[in-house]
Amino acid sequence: MLEKALVGSRTYWSWVAFLLILLGFGFFFYLRQLDYGLGITGMSRNVTWALYIAQFTFLVGVAASAVMLVLPYYLHDYKAFGKITILGEFLAVSSVIMCIAFIMVDLGQPARAFNILLYPTISSILFWDMIVLSGYLLLNIVIGWTVLAAEKKTLPPPNWVKPIIYLSIPWAISIHTVTAFIYAGLPGRSFWLTALMAPRFLASAFASGPALLILLCFIIRRFTRFDAGKDPVQMLARIVTYSTIVSVFFIGMELFTVFYSQVPEHMQHFEYLFIGLHGHRALVPWMWAAVILGGIALALLINPYTRRKEGPLAIACAAVFASLWIEKGLGTVVTGFIPSPLEKITEYFPTGPEVAITLGVWAMGLLILTILYKIAVAVKVETE
Amino acid sequence: MKSSRRRFLQVVGLSLVGLGVRPVFGALAGNGSPKFIMSPQGLKGKRWAMVVNPRRCPQECKDCIEACHREHNVPEFGNPKDEIKWIWNEPFKDVFPAQEHPYMEEKLKKRPVIVLCNHCDNPPCVRVCPTKATFKREEDGIVMMDYHRCIGCRFCIAGCPYGARSMNYRDPRPFIKKINPFFPTRTKGVVEKCNFCEERLAQGLLPACVLACQEKALTFGDLKNSQSEVRGLLRTHFTIRRRPELGTHPQVYYIV
């Protein structure tokens, strides 16, 4: 089926070329980072995880959200999703690959990455994260490819793939739960030390992932002869609506506990996020942008008249995606380090090379997504 | 079975999965950590600890800091972003933020307090490390680092509630004033911290910071030995530890 990615229009090849250029650009700066060290980024002694790990955390959510298509289709026999389930699975594949890439570019000694396998440590959440992420990648490649190959021959998918599909449902939940545990189990970081971390991650994942899928469906329809149809998109829109509401509700829960109890150690992180701490307010405009975008999205999504119209729905989805990218990305990761255990406020600003490497990884992910979607859409259009 | 390129790729894929599965089973079936062979001429202790008396520290004194950083080839970058430190001082109010109140004597608030790795009995950094590059030596409780195994993921830095760990954001070697050939230098991309001078203990010597202090503000010894100097100080003085409520059981005690 791979050959289908080798024929395409001018637009297709220009897009691929554009992504390759971005990827090459990022790779060039990654070589610089390998040579100089992680000091080339904006990270410091006090803020030791930042843009890369923020992308990783956010993208694990996008990957996990494939379950929002797989579960209704395979467990509840919701037929309308049959057409686009493959899009969710392939989105998961490219997202997990990006996650792994972001972990790799964040390592100080990437050449030693296999030490995680050589000296497996069951007490380390990072070890478990590696297991669940690689497992999830494998599951989605096998499922997506097998189901699509069967579809190409206009056959039902083979029976052996069914149990694997069912396994992928709890597995999707596990990848984001384990990713939340990376943060939620650290005694000294009060910003992350909350049992709500995993539920929050899952809720925001099921909002941002399907929002991206809706946008991808619109883009695919614009450039190919494949139309996802109105029903599945509207169902996705409802999933995005509920998940965004739950997501905002969870953040409200955190704010209540923190500000009603008034424990200073817990309050100061949120103060840094929303009003700034001792005059340091690098993240404040970003967070308020996230709040405003979230508000716009909710207004457009909750109102059925705007949700049913494609234009406003697209705006709402883009707003959800951007809002959660800020909140769950830098907002969640960097704030955990501010202030530091010794009460120091070190602000974080990404550097040029760091942004270039980040864009490079995104370009790689989009390239993989483009190729996988090209194949999937070609098969779909052929068999229709 | 029909052999084809497709079939071959499937088998290769499955074999790769097998490579990943083995360590998981290895970890679950693991049979304890390797034992250390302690040096025969080394100092004998079952639980090393330190007692710090900040009241003895003169305002501008840096003797212990300089001795430690010289001994361990700690680089000096001259900027807080890349900074690496094993032992340093911070104002009392930042070391013990929970103790501060508005009527505290200004002098006490600002009094420099020496901070270093607490060599916790229950170290979160060890728990989170995905490669066991940082580990607790059960024989004497020192939390140690294997600089050759560390992958530089910085999970331990996130895990440490004391800010005791530093990352080598760039090659440290050009920034070491005078290299001590008896202690390794580090490479870029690994994490480091105080090692309670395990290399000196092995030779029967006290930690460099303790020896360098002329004011006897730092006392090092074995908590399991009731006759030790540290136990004597803990008996006769009121001491506190940094953030004991976290359950990490830090082993650096402060006389206040």
Residues 207-246 of B with CB under 8 A from A: 243, 246
Burial bucket for residue A38 (CB in 10 Å: 0-12, 13-18, 19+): buried
Using one digit for the tens of pLDDT, what is the confidence trace for A252-301?
Answer: 999 999 999 999 999 999 999 999 999 999 999 999 999 999 999 999 99
Give phi and psi for A93, each to the nearest 5.
-60, -50
Using CA coordinates, name the residue in chain A closest to B161.
A188
Domain residue ranges of chain A, discontinuous segments joined by +: 2-383
- pLDDT score, position A299: 96
The pTM for the full model equals 0.93
Within a domain: residue B2? no
The predicted model gives A169-191 an average pLDDT of 95
The predicted model gives A305-314 an average pLDDT of 94
- What ipTM goes with this model? 0.92
CA–CA gap between residue B88 and residue B162 (Å, rounded): 12
Residue B46 has pLDDT above 70, yes or no: yes
Within a domain: residue B185? yes
The answer to whether the CB atoms of B158 and A115 lie below 8 A apart is no
Using one digit for the tens of pLDDT, what is the confidence trace for A230-262?
Answer: 899 999 999 999 999 999 999 999 999 999 999
CATH architecture observed for domain A2-383: Up-down Bundle (1.20)
- pLDDT score, position A373: 94
Task: Kindly list the residues from chain B whose CB atom is less than 8 angstroms away from the CB atom of residue A106.
Answer: 153
The predicted model gives B194-217 an average pLDDT of 94
- pLDDT score, position A1: 76
**What sign for the dihedral angle of Cα A41, A46, A47, A49?**
positive
**In percent, how much of chain A has pLDDT > 90?**
86
Identity of the residue in A107, A188, A189 whose CB atom sits nearest the CB atom of B152: A107
Using one digit for the tens of pLDDT, what is the confidence trace for B59-93?
Answer: 889 999 999 999 999 999 999 999 999 999 999 99
- pLDDT score, position A82: 86
Q: How confident is the model at residue A140 (pLDDT cuts 50, 70, 90)?
A: very high
Average pLDDT, chain B: 91
Which residues share a beta bridge with B68?
none
Residue B49 has pLDDT above 70, yes or no: yes
- State how far residue B91 is from chain A, nearest Cα, in angstroms: 9
The answer to whether the CB atoms of A117 and B23 lie below 8 A apart is yes
Angle at A217 between CA A216 and CA A221, to 5 degrees: 115
Within a domain: residue B108? yes
Looking at per-residue confidence, does A78 or A245 come out higher?
A245
Q: How confident is the model at residue A304 (pLDDT cuts 50, 70, 90)?
A: very high
Using CA coordinates, name the residue in chain B closest to A106.
B153
The total of structural domains in chain B comes to: 1
Q: How confident is the model at residue B30 (pLDDT cuts 50, 70, 90)?
A: low
Within a domain: residue B19? no
Within a domain: residue B4? no
Task: Kindly list the residues from chain B whose CB atom is less than 8 angstroms away from the CB atom of residue A346.
Answer: 80-81
Residue range(s) defining the domain that contains residue B244: 40-255
Within a domain: residue B199? yes
In Å, the largest CA–CA distance within chain A is: 65
CATH number of the domain within which B85 lies? 3.30.70.20
- pLDDT score, position B216: 93
The answer to whether the CB atoms of B94 and A344 lie below 8 A apart is yes
Within a domain: residue B28? no
Token look-up 């494609």 returns A310
Residues 30-49 of B with CB under 8 A from A: 30
Within a domain: residue B20? no
Average pLDDT, chain A: 94
Q: Pick the closest to residue A195 from A216, A180, A173, A178 (CA basis).
A: A180
